[in-house]
Structure 1
Amino acid sequence: MSLPEDCFDYEACLAACAQGERRALHDLYTQESARLLGVAKRIARSDALAEDIVHDAFIKIWTRAGSFDPARGTARGWIFSVTRHLALNFMRDNAHIIQVSEQSESAVLAEAALDVATEVDTFEYRARSGRIYGCLEQLEPARRNCILHAYVDGYSHSEISQKVGAPLGTVKAWIKRSLVALRECMG
């Protein structure tokens, strides 16, 4: 059973992994495997592929734990970043392209337009600890949702554009400016 994020010491766990303590990897797996699997599933869109990606992510976390630098971000963020990058690299390297017929494409666009009309701030924050939550809350809801769709859900810029009903260039600009604002806030 996993602990609330603010009660689990990710940094100490990574340090223990770097020292070869297998129990630390087990604790980390217990704490985050379900959420990491969700990230991988969102990107890979396949349960089996997502499981393989998470397996590979934990191997990489174990072997590279010593390279974690707390000056560059949180330990939990690093763990999620490792998983997300593996998933994105796998998808890019294997070029899984899904053909969409014109009819299903228009249905997807119509559904996205309906979602935008009724969408409210869809992200609730369970744990309000840590500066990132305060910094995220300072962003406008549309921009915050773009950041979360990109870095938590693993959506591409095009997918985010369709989901929020904004032009692709606007979504890219929102994400770029929001990342700058988050860096300044976290600074």
Structure 2
Amino acid sequence: MLADDATLRRLLAGIARGEADRLAELYDVSSPKLYGLILRIQRDRGLAEDVLQDVYMRIWQAAGSYRPEAGPPLPWLITIARNRAIDSVRRKAEVQGPELDSGEDWVDLLIDPHDEAGAFQDRNALVACLGRLEPSHRDCVVLAYCEGRSREELAARFDRPVNTIKTWLHRALAALKTCLETVS
């Protein structure tokens, strides 16, 4: 189970002071969550494990830059993990990404198997709202936010200008937000 904000803040403060045992403790309480996130982006388990180690090296180096007044620690940790995973995927040029034309398989890309049952209060709402999007827009959102694809990569994949991809993403996210607010 993930530690509360106060515990995470305490651990980060200890890491900032160079206390290696606090890093080990942070790893114990946060690695399942961060690994799940990384694995959704970087599908190769071996590479995901390498990225996870890189994430904790980055946390060791950057813990002194964490500012509690800027927000809770978990989003800070998640941002580091997400950015490292996306960087890893971008470095691996041969990765083609999933084919997203197989019905509801794309929903599985969004579900973290390590999250508790209540994390997605209504999976059916998510399925319904994503299903209302035009397929190319839905695929674009999934590839951007689950696979970490850049706008340039999406533009090449969908054979559209980058500005069109930006518009698709913006409109799709707005539609998802509106839909989820009304369905929930």
Task: Name the TM-score class by shorter chain.
Answer: 0.5 to 0.7
Question: Is contact 1:6–1:127 with CA below 8 Å preserved after alignment?
Answer: no
CA distance in 2, matches of 1:5, 1:127: 17
Q: Deviations over 1:15-53 (max 9, x none)?
A: 110001111101110011122111111111101100100
Against the structure 1 CA distance between its residues 4 and 63, is the aligned structure 2 distance closer, same or farther, given a 3 Å change threshold?
A: closer
Aligned to 2:83: 85
2:68 is equivalent to residue 56 of structure 1 = no
Alignment TM-score, normalising by the size of structure 2:
0.60
Question: Is contact 2:37–2:82 with CA below 8 Å preserved after alignment?
Answer: yes
Against the structure 1 CA distance between its residues 150 and 178, is the aligned structure 2 distance closer, same or farther, given a 3 Å change threshold?
A: farther
Q: Deviations over 1:44-63 (max 9, x none)?
A: 11011001000010001011
Aligned residue pair count: 148
CA distance in 1, matches of 2:6, 2:39: 24
Question: Is contact 2:11–2:22 with CA below 8 Å preserved after alignment?
Answer: yes
Question: Is contact 1:84–1:154 with CA below 8 Å preserved after alignment?
Answer: no
Identity %: 23
Question: Is contact 2:16–2:63 with CA below 8 Å preserved after alignment?
Answer: yes
Against the structure 1 CA distance between its residues 86 and 174, is the aligned structure 2 distance closer, same or farther, given a 3 Å change threshold?
A: same
2:64 is equivalent to residue 72 of structure 1 = no
Pairwise CA distance, 1:155: 5.7
CA distance in 1, matches of 2:41, 2:19: 30
Gapped runs of 5+ residues in structure 2? 131-137, 155-164, 178-184
Aligned to 1:162: none
Aligned to 2:28: 30
RMSD: 4.3
Against the structure 1 CA distance between its residues 40 and 23, is the aligned structure 2 distance closer, same or farther, given a 3 Å change threshold?
A: same
Against the structure 1 CA distance between its residues 70 and 63, is the aligned structure 2 distance closer, same or farther, given a 3 Å change threshold?
A: same
Structure 1 SS opposite 2:101 = helix
Pairwise CA distance, 1:9: 1.3
CA distance in 2, matches of 1:39, 1:171: 21
CA distance in 2, matches of 1:15, 1:39: 24
Aligned to 1:42: 40
Question: Is contact 1:44–1:50 with CA below 8 Å preserved after alignment?
Answer: yes
Alignment of 1:167-186 (within 5 A): 169=167, 171-175=169-173
Amino acid in the other structure paired with 1:111: G
Against the structure 1 CA distance between its residues 87 and 4, is the aligned structure 2 distance closer, same or farther, given a 3 Å change threshold?
A: closer
Pairwise CA distance, 1:80: 1.2
Amino acid in the other structure paired with 2:103: E
Alignment TM-score, normalising by the size of structure 1:
0.59
Aligned to 1:9: 7
Question: Is contact 1:40–1:83 with CA below 8 Å preserved after alignment?
Answer: yes
2:103 is equivalent to residue 111 of structure 1 = yes
